[in-house]
Structure 1
Amino acid sequence: MRVCGCEISAREVRLAVVCLNDGGNIEILRLKTTRIELEDDTSDADLRSFLRALHEFSSENEIDTFVIKTRAKKGRMAGGAVSFKIEALIQLVEGCETRFVSPVALSHFAKKEVENYPEKMPVYMKNAFLSGAYVLTRG
């Protein structure tokens, strides 16, 4: 099973594809595409292009499930309108399930169950990796 952890930030989604290796350990796949950006959220063409890029990414990498780190809908730390459009587009990817995980659950998971992060993993992919690893290990 391949899981793609997603962290939505501003106008882009950061993607980390994880799976279990033969030893039962979490492994991050080294992929060329780690981010997809939505150029103009008011353009039909750009929205369709973003969705097409997600479809291609999921197909090429045999993604079973997308996992999105949730964002607040109200208050000081609320996600922006564009980020919720991106979230909806991820949910529209055919053939893939979409699940959500809270920042609190990720923090607890990182402290209690993640001993080491993969070597040379960029810092900007940490939350996407944690999201995917969380669902992969917790079902």
Structure 2
Amino acid sequence: MKVCGVELKGNEAILVLLQGQEACFELLDHVTRKITLKDSDCAAEVSLFRKAVDDFMANNRVEKILIKKRAKKGKFAGGPDTFKMEALIQIISGPEVVLVSPQALATMEKKRSISFPAPLLKYQQTAFLAGVWGLVHI
């Protein structure tokens, strides 16, 4: 199974591709590590973001998308652009989209003592965890 872990931060969707099964998976190398929503108030830019995500998922034959959930209110609430990006990703036709809580990711990381692969960049670690969660729990 091929999955894409996603973390939404600011105006960027951070992406990590993984393939395999629960105990045996590999990090897939891909050129696009982030997709940026340049201006969330401009309909043309929002459409470009959606098309870029749609093309990325289709070109990489992604079967499931795992997005790290953001809080809707409180100190760690996600920004408005992240919710717009989440909605745009959720309506992409094709792959199933699953939202994963930060608590679920932290629990899995502790239980499985996950180590991050060398080619993974620091800012991709949360997206990587979301992808691993998808391979382990779905």
Q: Report the TM range for the smaller structure's normalisation.
A: over 0.9
Which letter maps to 1:41?
S
The TM-score, its normalising length taken from structure 2, stands at 0.95
Inter-partner Cα distance in structure 2 for 1:110 and 1:93: 28
Q: Secondary structure at the match of 1:53?
A: helix
The TM-score, its normalising length taken from structure 1, stands at 0.95
Gaps of 5+ in 2: none
Q: How does 1:95-106 map to 2 (within 5 A)?
A: 95-106=94-105
Inter-partner Cα distance in structure 2 for 1:98 and 1:115: 23
Which residue in the other structure is 1:9 paired with?
A: 9
Q: Secondary structure at the match of 1:13?
A: strand
CA apart distance, 1:128: 0.2
2:23/2:136 contact within 8 Å kept: no
Q: Secondary structure at the match of 1:62?
A: coil
Which residue in the other structure is 1:130 paired with?
A: 129
Q: How does 1:65-104 map to 2 (within 5 A)?
A: 65-104=64-103
Shift >6 Å, 4+ stretches? none
CA apart distance, 1:24: 4.7
Q: Secondary structure at the match of 1:68?
A: strand
Deviations 1:24-52 (A, max 9, x none): 51211010001000000011100100000
Counterpart check, 1:60 vs 2:59: yes
Which residue in the other structure is 2:19 paired with?
A: 19
Identity of aligned residues (%): 37
Inter-partner Cα distance in structure 2 for 1:114 and 1:95: 32
Figure out how many residues of one structure are paired with residues of the other and give that number. 138
1:6/1:132 contact within 8 Å kept: yes
Inter-partner Cα distance in structure 2 for 1:81 and 1:136: 29
Deviations 1:44-102 (A, max 9, x none): 10010000001110111000111110000011110011110000011011111100111
Inter-partner Cα distance in structure 1 for 2:63 and 2:123: 23
2:6/2:68 contact within 8 Å kept: yes
Inter-partner Cα distance in structure 1 for 2:39 and 2:49: 10
1:27/1:118 contact within 8 Å kept: no
